[in-house]
């Protein structure tokens, strides 16, 4: 049982609550659960919950049927998001977080080389063992504190927090200042004195499941950590011991959805220890992501054949790089985004230098100071644009709602928002031309990032409604179009168009309408307290919307745009707009320039030029090659072969 205390509770009130619970047979402990101060009551005591709830200082009482009260989703319905290393790295929510590194720190050079390699491929947390519990007393057992110092140095150089295993309560205090996250290994999952000591230190903890532990035993070990004082625990499934001998362990994929239903804590998977065979790690990793894991921890070594520990299951750098690309491609399918973080000394900045074109509209204004990382989007809370925003900037990102797409550009230009989230293309309905045209009207705005969101439509209604009570359905016209087959089965329903899907849901909540439903995403139902009558009603499940992150160009250098935030520094994609002279072969000449420099086109679309009947311009998305100078040379050549050349931005493209 959890007693949530009111914000103004006094010390005297807290002590009276503790005495009340102890007198009735409970063991009590103080705990901080998110922003709430709580008292946990465990044991077989008997209490009248109504009487307890009336005590001074009690805000509410949460009874749970689970023995792991603090861990249970009955106590906290929302997902916990664990922050590590000052907040740049988060595990949980809409992101997939990848931890990578060697099984053991073998030397200063080895851990630095590995850190640079995995960072380059997209890992955001560095793993490695300074102390290695081994079955054989003669096996390599790590470099101890010296190895941890090497690891900390490598992590700081590459901008990566570190996670390492702690093997004894005595070492925990010594390791505290050198590690960003403690790992409790599988062998120590039920070392309760270690759990209590590490939990009391208050640092984030990665808790691995023991090889013979049940899910309940695993969650009870997490309960020890939370009860001792830490509020940040990540569960790690790493395979259990079965009669199968071909793999090192048996990866319990089913544990992922089971645990996520039972607990609010994030769950990641260690496929390296689960299968123990290098060639099988990638398939197991992708299966874990498909099953709902919040991340992965992977063993990577620059030379696995020479590794002093777990070489056969350690990935080669090129295998890890390919796996990261596969994860990035899979992430949107499961409604997530691969987490990437800024590198040291970059502030997450990426820049590209190209000449700026004259403004057609909205000449440069003197901006107001930027609000730190505030992001603007169009629509009500729960809109698909807000979901895309959270994928890139995180669930806790400050944001503002505006009433139109143009309002997003205005907010960014004037400085009331640091960035904006703009939809530009749907895989079924095509381009949103209004927003492409806005880039030409706002030349001081540039593209800084991209995210592709799978659109899953639901029929949403009041809690009292059912399918038989519905007479009217509201949504954006695109929502109706994308759910045509479902709507055709209910010809009596009256369709009412709204400005956005989440707005349709909000209107039902405001009116308390029972006979009205909306077509929107499930997030909108949760935000507005409604229920999903039917999920996945879109005609085509391959329904994705592409959103662009926009930011203001650098005011000091009119030829440079600078993007700050959770965007890696090397752009992989760029967007351009240009027109060509009215003569044979002019478009071919432009395409040949890009082909000669190894630049691949991913989008080419013509649009009428406003105010010039029967004249057209081309919107182009291209992949930026890794070859030094190739992209810049191509852009310079293009300017000489085009008219009205606009460079919209270089950014990291979604796969």
Active-site residue set: 545, 547
3-state class (DSSP) for residue 374: coil
Cα(119)–Cα(114) distance, rounded to whole angstroms?
A: 8
According to DSSP, residue 654 is labeled: P
Q: Which of helix, strand or coil describes residue 245?
A: coil
DSSP helix/strand/coil, 161: coil
Paired tokens of 241: 């011991």
Element holding 541 (H helix, E strand): none
Cα(first)–Cα(last) distance of the chain, in Å?
Answer: 46
| Beta bridge mates, 647 | 576
Q: Are 644 and 578 in contact (CB under 8 A)?
A: yes
DSSP state of 370: P
The C-alpha atoms of residue 89 and residue 276 are separated, in whole angstroms, by 27
Q: SS3 of 82, please?
A: strand
- Own/partner pairs for 133-137, CB < 8 Å, 24+ apart? 133/165, 133/167, 133/185, 133/187, 133/188, 134/309
Residues near 598 by beta carbon (within 8 Å), at least 6 away in sequence: 625, 627, 630
> How many CB atoms within 10 Å of residue 542?
10
CA 553, 557, 562 angle in degrees (round to 5)?
40
Tokens 């992949």 belong to which residue? Answer: 623
Give 351's contacts (C-beta < 8 A, 6+ positions apart).
554, 560, 561, 562, 563
**∠77-87-273 over CA atoms, to 5°?**
75
| Nearest Cα residue to 503 out of 383, 377, 376 | 383
**Contact between residue 597 and residue 574 where contact means Cβ atoms under 8 Å apart:** no
User: Token digits for 481?
Assistant: 């179009």
Burial class (CB in 10 A: 0-12, 13-18, 19+), 544: middle
And the tokens for 521? 């995403």
Q: Which two tokens stand for residue 310?
A: 């777990």
DSSP state of 351: E
Token pair of 127 as six digits: 């793993």
The residues, ordered by sequence, that sit 6+ positions from 542 with a Cβ below 8 Å of its Cβ are: 427, 428
DSSP 310-344: -GGGPBPHHHHHHHHHHHHHHGGGGT-EE---PPT
69 vs 42: CA distance, rounded Å? 8
- Which two tokens mark 653? 């493209």
The DSSP code for 367 is P
Sole residue written with tokens 């209604």: 461
Non-local (6+) Cβ contacts of 109 within 8 A are none
Query: What is the three-class DSSP state of 544?
Result: strand
Q: What share of the chain is helix, strand, coil (3-state, %, to 5)?
A: 35, 25, 40
């Amino acid at each position: 049982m959890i007693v949530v205390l009111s914000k103004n509770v006094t010390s005297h009130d807290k002590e009276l609550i503790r005495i009340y619970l102890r007198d009735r047979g409970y063991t009590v402990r103080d705990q901080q659960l998110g922003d709430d101060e709580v008292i946990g009551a465990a044991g077989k005591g008997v209490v009248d919950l109504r009487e307890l709830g009336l005590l001074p200082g009690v805000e509410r009482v949460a009874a749970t049927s689970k023995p792991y009260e603090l861990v249970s989703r009955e106590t906290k319905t929302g997902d916990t998001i664990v922050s590590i290393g000052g907040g740049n790295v988060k595990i949980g929510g809409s992101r997939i977080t990848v931890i990578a590194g060697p099984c053991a720190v073998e030397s200063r050079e080895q851990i630095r080389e590995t850190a640079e390699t995995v960072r380059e491929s997209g890992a955001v947390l560095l793993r490695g063992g300074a102390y290695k519990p081994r079955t054989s007393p003669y096996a390599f057992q790590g470099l101890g504190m010296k190895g941890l110092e090497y690891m900390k140095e490598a992590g700081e150089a590459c901008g990566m927090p570190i996670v390492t295993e702690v093997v004894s309560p005595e070492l925990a205090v010594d390791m505290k200042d050198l590690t960003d996250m403690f790992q409790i290994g599988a062998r120590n999952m039920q070392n309760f004195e270690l759990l209590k000591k590490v939990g009391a230190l208050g640092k984030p903890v990665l808790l691995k499941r023991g090889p013979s532990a049940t899910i309940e035993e695993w969650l009870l070990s997490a309960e020890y950590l939370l009860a001792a004082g830490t509020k940040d625990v990540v569960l790690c499934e790493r395979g259990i011991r079965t009669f199968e001998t071909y793999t090192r362990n048996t990866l319990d994929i089913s544990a992922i959805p089971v645990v996520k239903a039972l607990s609010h804590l994030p769950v990641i998977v260690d496929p390296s220890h689960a299968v123990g065979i290098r060639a099988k790690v990638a398939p197991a990793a992708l299966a874990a992501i498909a099953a709902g894991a919040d991340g992965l921890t992977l063993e990577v070594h620059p030379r696995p054949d020479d590794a002093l520990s777990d070489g056969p299951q350690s990935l080669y750098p090129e295998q890890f790089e390919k796996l990261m690309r596969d994860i990035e491609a899979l992430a949107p399918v499961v409604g997530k985004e691969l987490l990437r973080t800024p590198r040291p000394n970059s502030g997450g900045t990426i820049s590209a230098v190209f000449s700026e074109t004259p403004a057609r509209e909205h000449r440069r204004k003197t901006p107001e100071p930027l609000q730190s990382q505030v992001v603007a989007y169009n629509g009500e809370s729960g809109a698909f644009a807000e979901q895309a925003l959270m994928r890139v900037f995180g669930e806790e990102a400050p944001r503002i709602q505006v009433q139109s797409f143009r309002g997003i550009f205005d907010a960014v230009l004037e400085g009331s928002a640091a960035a904006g989230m703009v939809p530009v293309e749907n895989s079924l309905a095509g381009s949103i031309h209004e927003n492409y045209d806005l880039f030409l009207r706002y030349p001081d705005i540039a593209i800084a990032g991209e995210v592709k969101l799978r659109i899953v439509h639901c029929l949403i209604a009041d809690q009292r409604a059912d399918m038989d009570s519905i007479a009217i359905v509201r949504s954006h016209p695109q929502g109706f179009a994308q759910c045509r087959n479902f709507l055709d089965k209910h010809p009596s329903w009256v369709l009412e168009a709204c400005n956005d899907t989440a707005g349709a849901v909000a209107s039902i909540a405001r009116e308390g309408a029972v006979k009205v439903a909306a077509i929107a995403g499930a997030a909108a139902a949760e935000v507005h307290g409604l229920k999903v009558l039917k999920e996945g009603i879109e005609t085509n499940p391959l329904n994705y919307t592409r959103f662009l992150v926009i930011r203001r160009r650098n005011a000091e250098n009119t030829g440079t745009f600078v993007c700050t935030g959770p965007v890696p520094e090397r752009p992989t994609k760029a967007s351009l707009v240009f027109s060509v002279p009215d003569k044979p072969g002019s478009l071919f000449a432009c395409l040949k320039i890009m082909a000669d420099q190894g630049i691949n086109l991913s989008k080419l679309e013509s649009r009428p030029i406003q105010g010039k009947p029967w004249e057209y311009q081309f919107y182009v998305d291209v992949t930026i090659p890794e070859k030094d100078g190739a992209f810049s040379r191509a852009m310079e050549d293009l300017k000489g072969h085009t008219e009205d050349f606009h460079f919209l931005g270089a950014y990291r493209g979604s796969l």
